[in-house]
């Protein structure tokens, strides 16, 4: 059996429009829109990145400073001995 088009309806109207209705006229929830979910997640990641960027740059700067001062500290430890942790002075 083929469906015929009703002349009183617009020709672009979908003939299977009842597929989203269950018995009793209750609407079925539409399937999830994966593209919209991915876009929202990406937007949230960008917002978090903007908020945390200054802190990340500070951590990078501190790590670079630590790496730069490591050989100097090793040389000072060889010459003067290790730091005394309580007083902050070098013990000899």
- Within 13 Å of residue 18, how many CA atoms lie on the same side as its CB? 5
- Would you list the domain boundaries of the chain? 21-80
**Which stretch, 2-11, 22-31, 61-70, has highest mean pLDDT?**
61-70
Q: What is the mean pLDDT of the chain?
A: 80
Q: In which band, very low, low, confident or very high, does the pLDDT at 34 lie, cut at 50, 70 and 90?
A: very high
d(CA 34, CA 20): 19
- Among 13-17, 47-51, 85-89, the range with the most confident prediction by mean pLDDT is 47-51
Q: 54 or 20: which carries more pLDDT confidence?
A: 54
The overall longest dimension of the chain from CA atoms, in Å, is 102
pTM above 0.85, yes or no: no
């Amino acid at each position: 059996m083929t469906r015929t088009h009703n002349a009183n309806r617009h020709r672009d109207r979908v003939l299977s429009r009842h597929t989203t209705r269950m018995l009793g006229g209750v609407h079925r929830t539409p399937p999830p829109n994966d593209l919209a979910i991915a876009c929202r997640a990406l937007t949230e990641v960008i917002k978090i990145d903007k908020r945390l960027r200054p802190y990340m740059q500070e951590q990078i700067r501190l790590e670079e400073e630590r790496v730069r001062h490591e050989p100097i500290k090793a040389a000072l430890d060889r010459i003067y001995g290790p730091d005394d942790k309580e007083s902050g002075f070098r013990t000899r």
